[in-house]
Every structure is written in C-alpha cells, then in structure tokens.
Structure 1
Amino acid sequence: MFESTKVAVLGAGLMGCGIAQVFACKQIAVTLYDPYATARDTAKDKIASNLEIMSLSTDALQYINVVGDLQQAVTDADFIIEAVPEKRELKQQLFSRIRPYTKSTAVVASNTSVIPIKEIFEGLHFENQVVGTHWWNPPYLVPLVEVVQTDQSSDEAIEKMMTLLKFAGKEPVHVKKDVPGFVGNRMQHALWREAIALINDGVCSAEGVDAVVKNSFGLRLPVLGPIENADLVGLDLTLDIHNVILESLNNDTQPADILKHKVDSKEWGMKTGKGFKTWTEEEAQAVKVNLSKYLIEVQNKKGHKDEKES
C-alpha cells in the first residue's frame, strides 16, 4: 500500500530518530533532516542501537536517508512530520521555510506534546494539509499516536495520516478538537496535579503516592481504561463517588508551590539527583532500564498478536 510513499521527518533527535525508525521498519522510504552535522552523523547509530535493544535486524536502516538540506527533504514527500524541540517559534519558523517546497497533496504534521496545532500553523497557509501527531516517548515502543484535527485539517488529511500510522503498526486515535495537551497529556497531568497536591498538602509522601498508584488502579490501566472501569463498576456508583469527592479534588490553575520551589532550588529530578525523591545514578538508570524492558515486552506481545491475527 505504501511501497512508493515518501516520508520526511524533520529533526534527528530522540523523537525524530524514533519516528523514522517506525516507518523504516515497515520498508517506507524516510528522509531524515537535521541542520546539525553532529545529529546527522549519529542518527543511524542511534536507530541501530534501538533496533539491537529490540532484537530487530538493522535492515531498516537502508530505508533512511539522512540529509542536511531542508528543500531536499520535503520537496517530494507525501508526509512531512516535524520533530524539533517543543518551542512554538522554532516550529513556526521551520514550517514557514518548507511551505514553498511542499506538495499540495502532502500531509504536514507537527509532533508536539501540548501546543495547540492551530497556534503552530497560525498565519501559514497549507490548504487543509495540516494535522497534529503527538507521538509518545520512545516512539518506537509506545503504540499511541494522537492525530489532532484543527481548522487547517481536511478529513482526507486526517484519514491519510491515520491509515499510514495503522500500516506502520501504531495505534492512532483521532482527537477531534485542538485543545492544549490533547487527550493523553490532559489526563496524565490531571493525575500529576492531584499527586503533587497530595504531597504539597502533607496527605502522603512521594513514595506513598507512587506506591498507591502502582499497587491499585495502575495495575488495571493496561487492560481497563477509565471509561471501561466506570461502566464496569456502574455509572450509578460513579455518580455517588463524584458527588462526594469532586469538590475536594485539587483544581489549581497554577503549578503547586512545592513544584515551583523544587525547580527554583534546581531539584529537577533524576537529572540533578534530587526531585521529590533522591536518586543515585544507579537508581535512576535502573528505572530507565526497567521501563525499557517493560515497553519492549509489551511491544513484542503486540507483535505476536498482530502476526496471529494476520
């Protein structure tokens, strides 16, 4: 279906390399652009390392062409996916630069975690070609991609992107309104806000908050989403619970004082050795390794399931 499709990925950082890897593993031609020689020179090594960790062949690398010429990257591309740092102005400048070289039939996507797509493309005229694609880190292991519809999105562009992502083995979800944070990060940070508030208010320790999540509803989340769970326990019970608890949940519109204090004190988490918890390098590395192992197991199970179904 996508034998002659050309995908351009703009940015050869962690996300860009991972996105390029996903398509290359399905034998889709990818042009990976980055303006920095150091990023270009190490891009294929990063991808090869990812493939090795996943016990996959490095044959996918032959489908990736790494370039430093932006015009070359986008001129014949059927899909263009931007994956530069999470700065609105940087993304806007990049899309402004590629506009003259982009095919009228190309689907043009910004990969962002929280920035509304309409803000990124404001003042740029891509004639209904625009969509948002929120890939999750690492993109080659986390199945979800949120496909965000905005006022410059045609139904055709949304459908094309959804179809491509499904072919590439992802789990795309159509986000019908362009709201900050889309769906996943709105729910994730609603949880984080309450978790940090519980610590801020002295209700529970950081260790206790994580223990509660990991040993209760967190165990169910991979197989039981929140709406499934509400239907399972009954919406009558859900309403009774909400009548009691909602008025006491944190609804601050600004970050918690404890979070601002820690950032001001350069207690940034694992990168500085202290955040809500204290971390040695060995402890931080163990968390990262365990997460990677878990995601690889999930990916392998999904791959085996897809093979059986096909």
Structure 2
Amino acid sequence: MLETVVQRKSKVTVVGAGLMGHGIAQVFAAAGHDTTITDTSHDVLQAARHHIRNNLDQMGIEPGPVLERIRLCRNLAESVSDADFVIEAAPERVALKQKLFADIAEAAPESAVLASNTSVIPITAIGENLDEQARCRLVGTHWWNPAHLVPLVEVIRTRFTSGVVFEDTFNILAAVGKCPVKVHKDVPGFIGNRLQHALWREAISLVHRGVCDAETIDTVVKLSFGMRLPVLGPMENADLVGLELARSVHEIIFPDLDCASEPSPLLNELVSAGHLGMRTGKGLRNWTPEQADEVRRRLALHLIAANNR
C-alpha cells in the first residue's frame, strides 16, 4: 500500500473541487505529489486553480511550481485509474458518497487507499456497499476548513480498515505537513466536531433562551477561554484547576445545560425564513458582504501567522 508512497512522489486524486477539495489538493501538490482534481461541475473544477493561486499568493508562496503538479479531469474513472491515494471531498450526503466509492473502487488500482473527508458521517456507513477488498482500504481523513491552513486531520478507522492502511494514511498526512490524530472508533462526528457542536448547542440555546445575543456569545468565547485554547486544551485545563473543582462545577452546571437531541428550534426558524448565514446576509447574526469578506480575510491571516510561528 503506502509503505513507499510516504517516501516517494505519489499520485493523489481528490474527488470534489469545492470548498475543501481544492485546499486538500493544494497541500499534496505543495508537498511534491502529482495531484489530480476531479469534479462533475465544469465551473467548479476550472475555479480550483484560481482558488489555489489566491491561497498561495496570500501565503506568500510562488504558485507556479504547485500548480504545475495539479491536473484537472472531469472523468472520475480516468482520474483515479493510476492513483495511489484517493480522497473524496463531496457534499455530505451518504448515498452520494456510497455511489462515489463504489465507482472509485471499480476504477482505481486495488492497491489504492480510499479516504473520505466527511466531517460527521460514519465511515462504516459510507463503505457499507463495498466488497471486503475495498472496505479494508477505506479510511476517514477529516480535514478542517480551510484545509490548506488548519494543521489537524482526523484519521478514522472502521472495524474493517486494514491496520497498514490506517498507519500509512497517518504517516503520509504527517509527511505532507499536517498534524494527524488517530480516531480508533468510528463514531458520528469523530472527535473535533463532537466537541465543537456541543459548544454550539449550548451557545444557540443561550441565545434562544434570551440569556444574551449571538454577538455576545462570540465576544465571550474569543475573549475568555478561547484565548487559552491554542496553548491549553480542555484536559490540560481540568488538570490545571484540579479535578475536584471540575467535579464541583459540573454538579452545579450540568443539570441546567442544554441536552437536546434535535436541532434547536431557533435554527429551524432561521432556516425556514431563509436566513442561512453569511451568504444570505443574515443567520444568527447580520452580515454585509464586506463584513463576511473581512471575517474570511481575518481568519486566513490569523491561520497563516499561526502556521509561521
């Protein structure tokens, strides 16, 4: 499988050229791997090079050498026919991903690693229609947006995933400059999104209950415990303050925390009204196009600076 891929230039195919796909492709191409991007949309596929060029310009990296290693291909079977490593970055729909991997497994070499960039769907469900030979090569690789700037990638194994595939996927991600972590049980949302959305559930609940507005939530997070998070994780923090204090706090606060098992009524109301977030000008907060662009710019520059430290 990837024993030699980690040490040599390999052929990588990214299925999906959208928000995550072109960033993933950029990482592999920047690390020296021949990278193919495929997408059913001609416009989305053609825009990938433009997005990658803009990313590299913003990072202060000469785009030419990276773009030279990127090939665009509309045909899925052709794009994976000689791939060593295939990463799917399609929309979060189980049936779509199942069909894609069935097609990929049929067209790709039997030695190719098959990886899904899903952020929440269990990898086992994505691969449930694959034969045994393909299932053992299927692994989760959950990248974070923006893929070219956020270091972490969660590597998820199923009970079918080969140990060699799991370890070698971890190693090739480390070799291209990412910070992979191992997820040993295939649970919905894996690690990061379970933690993130537990926070979101409580934040949205506080707004819905009238405790504060959405802007206050963002201010509290960014100017309190959020400032510590880059250097002090929650487990470190618990041990720092002492577990007896953590237990005492939990005894008081846990009974009043939101524990809903369904999306918030507030989210349902906003979505039904067409208030979907920055792209519609209103979500939990109101946004002008200029404000939305500024958030994206500020995030990118913050991540670039953090990666350069």
**Above 0.5 in TM-score?**
yes
Q: Which residue of 2 aligns with 1:53?
A: 58
Measured on the aligned residues, the alpha-carbon RMSD in Å equals 1.3
Residue 118 in structure 1 maps to residue 118 in structure 2: no
| 1:73 and 2:60 are equivalent in the alignment | no
Deviates more, 1:107-116 or 1:275-284: 275-284
- Conserved 8 A contact 2:122-2:188: yes
In the alignment, what sits opposite 1:21? 26
From 66, 91, 94, the equivalent of 1:88 is: 94
Partner of 2:109: 103
Tell me the percent identity: 49
Deviations 1:202-242 (A, max 9, x none): 11221221111111100001111101111111112111111
Give how far 1:254 is off: 1.0
Cα displacement (A) at 1:270: 1.5
Q: Which residue of 2 aligns with 1:306?
A: none
One of 121, 141, 146 as aligned partner of 1:133: 141
How far apart in 2 are the matches of 1:40 and 1:273?
Answer: 27
Q: List alignment gaps of at least 5 residues for structure 1.
A: 302-310
CA offset digits 1:230-258 (Å, max 9, x no partner): 11111121111112211111101111212
| Displacement after TM superposition at 1:39 (Å) | 2.7
Cα separation, 2, equivalents of 1:88 and 1:123: 11
* Correspondence 1:7 to 2:12: yes
Residue pair 2:9, 2:32 contacting (<8 A) in 1 also = no
Map of 1:212 onto structure 2: 220
Residues 237 and 7 of structure 1, relative CA distance in 2, 3 Å threshold: same
TM (norm. structure 1) is: 0.93
Cα distance in 2, alignment partners of residues 54 and 201 from structure 1: 42
Contact persistence 1:3–1:27 (CA under 8 A): no
- Checking the alignment, whether the CA contact within 8 Å between 1:2 and 1:28 is kept in structure 2 is no
- Per the TM alignment, residue 72 of structure 1 is displaced from its structure 2 partner at its CA by 2.1
Point out which structure has higher relative CO (alpha carbons under 8 A, 6+ apart).
2
Output the amino acid matched with 1:3. R
Runs of 5+ unmatched residues, structure 2: 1-5
The answer to whether 1:230 aligns with 2:238 is yes
Q: TM-score, length-normalised on structure 2?
A: 0.94
Range 75-84 or range 96-105, more displaced? 96-105
Q: How does 1:280-291 map to 2 (within 5 A)?
A: 280-291=288-299
Q: Which residue of 1 aligns with 2:256?
A: 248
Please report how far the alpha carbon of residue 165 of structure 1 lies from its aligned counterpart in structure 2 after TM superposition.
Answer: 0.4
Match of 1:304 in 2: none
Would you say how many aligned residue pairs link Structure 1 and Structure 2?
Answer: 301
Q: Which SS does the other structure have where 1:66 is aligned? A: strand
Q: How far off is 1:267 after superposition? A: 1.6
- Give the aligned partner of residue 143 of structure 1: 151
| Displacement after TM superposition at 1:276 (Å) | 2.0
User: Could you report, residue by residue, the CA deviation over 1:121-148 in whole angstroms, capped at 9, with x for unpaired residues?
Assistant: 1121214111001111110001111111
2:216 corresponds to 1:199: no
